[in-house]
Chains A and B, each alone.
Chain A
Amino acid sequence: MHELSLAESTLELALRHAQGAGATRVTGLHLVVGEFTPLEESSLTFYWDRITRGTSASGSRVSIRRVPARMACVDCGRALDPVTETWCCPTCGSGRLRLTSGDECYLESIDVEGEVA
């Protein structure tokens, strides 16, 4: 269900920026979402088609760029993939790691058409 909230927030954001840019239609949206951010793409697009009906974003396409999750060893700086590797530094054996990417969730840009006269 929280994909519905995310879809609604995305729509609000897109319409506000489209209006700010003097556009009349939103044709595409580009989201950046981290691997560790809970978001199911098919669920989001399902809601998207329904909530955009009757708005200037009707028929627009949402593309999502997933950012892989990465961790880095706090002690030696080595990067590791927390999805495929165990949470322990393979180089120095340290268990002190931090997440360096993978929790993003933002609207990067929108494609718009039209010019408010």
Chain B
Amino acid sequence: MSRRVEIVEDILSANDHLAAENLARLEAAGVFSVNLMASPGAGKTTLIEQTISQLRPRLRLAVIDGDLATSLDADRAAAAGAEAVQINTGGQCHLDAVMVRRGLEALDLSQIDLLLVENVGNLVCPSSFDLGTHRRVLIASVPEGDDKPYKYPGSYRAIDALVLNKIDLLPHVRFDVDTFRRGVEILNPGVRFFLMSCTTGEGLTAWLEWLEAEVGERRAEAVT
């Protein structure tokens, strides 16, 4: 005789528990952390390089780099001056909280102010897996088109900030910033929005100021 057992528990609750542990660990060490998600080629690694080289004089930075294979991205982050840990997902399409925990174990958190987690380039799967970072940021880029929030609502949802990169290409590509922005804001009311070009440097200052302010808050909380 079969009987039914009521459960109602999120399928990824195990991941979410681990993510909460990751966050607690980061909080205890006073590290501010960001999960950077994007499609391949949106400019994640370039933004990370620029962030490192601009903030390095004032902050201690680390990068956890998720990729299917190779350490190309971690090498770039290390060359720019950050502590870098490469996590090869072995074909898995996203980082999860277990992999990030491995990354955290490889770092001396007491020597870090800002941790950037570079997710696997993918506009579908990473959004389902909480990593335990303080903020989730999606990097979109102009050549991808202004319809992406409408086509990938799962990924464009539950983010704290959005970077629209490659705005130097706006004169050459059919892309309506208002259309794009409206979709993002419907899915995330009040989301922070950064218009940026990592090529010309436009908009980078606002991004850096935001990160620095967030790092400052964590530090103040860790001290008190």
Interface segment, one of B51-59, B92-100, B133-141, B203-211: B92-100
Q: Does B223 have its Cβ within 8 Å of any Cβ on chain A?
A: no
Check if B5 sits within 8 Å of A105, measured CB to CB.
no
Inter-subunit contact A111/B3 (CB<8 Å): yes
Contact of A107 with B3 at beta-carbon distance under 8 Å, contacts A1-B125, A95-B186, A99-B187 already known:
no
A96 touches B7 (CB 8 A): no
List the A side residues contacting B9 at CB < 8 Å.
13, 17, 106-107
Decide: A1 near B92, CB < 8 A? Known: A38-B154, A87-B150, A97-B186. yes
Instruction: Find out whether the CB atom of B10 lies under 8 angstroms from the CB atom of A106.
Output: yes
How many A-B residue contacts, CB cutoff 8 Å?
A: 111
Residue in B closest to A86 when the chains form the complex, CB atoms: B150
The smallest beta-carbon distance between B16 and chain A, in angstroms, is 10
Contact A105 B128 (CB under 8 A): yes
Complex contact A36–B14 (CB within 8 A): no
Residues of A within 8 A of B96 (CB): 5
B6 touches A108 (CB 8 A): yes
Cβ of B30 within 8 Å of any chain A Cβ, yes or no, is no
Across the interface, name the chain A residue whose C-beta is closest to B183. A87
Taking chain A's interface residues, is the majority helix, strand, or loop, or is none over half, making it mixed?
mixed
Q: Assuming the A-B contacts A82-B153, A87-B186, are A10 and B5 also in contact, with contact meaning beta carbons closer than 8 angstroms in the complex? A: no
A109-B7 in contact given A2-B128, A98-B189 (Cβ < 8 Å): yes
CB nearest neighbor in A for B186: A97
List residues of chain A with CB within 8 A of the CB of B213: none
Interface flag for B171 (CB, 8 Å): no
Q: Is the CB of A105 within 8 A of B1?
A: no
**A36-B7 contact in complex given A9-B14, A96-B189, C-beta closer than 8 Å:** no
Interface, chain A (partner B; CB < 8 A): 1-2, 4-6, 9-10, 12-13, 17-18, 21, 23, 27-28, 31, 36-38, 69, 71, 74, 82, 87, 95-99, 103, 105-113
Residues of B that sit less than 8 Å from A by CB: 1-15, 91-94, 96, 124-125, 127-129, 150, 153-155, 157-158, 182-183, 185-187, 189
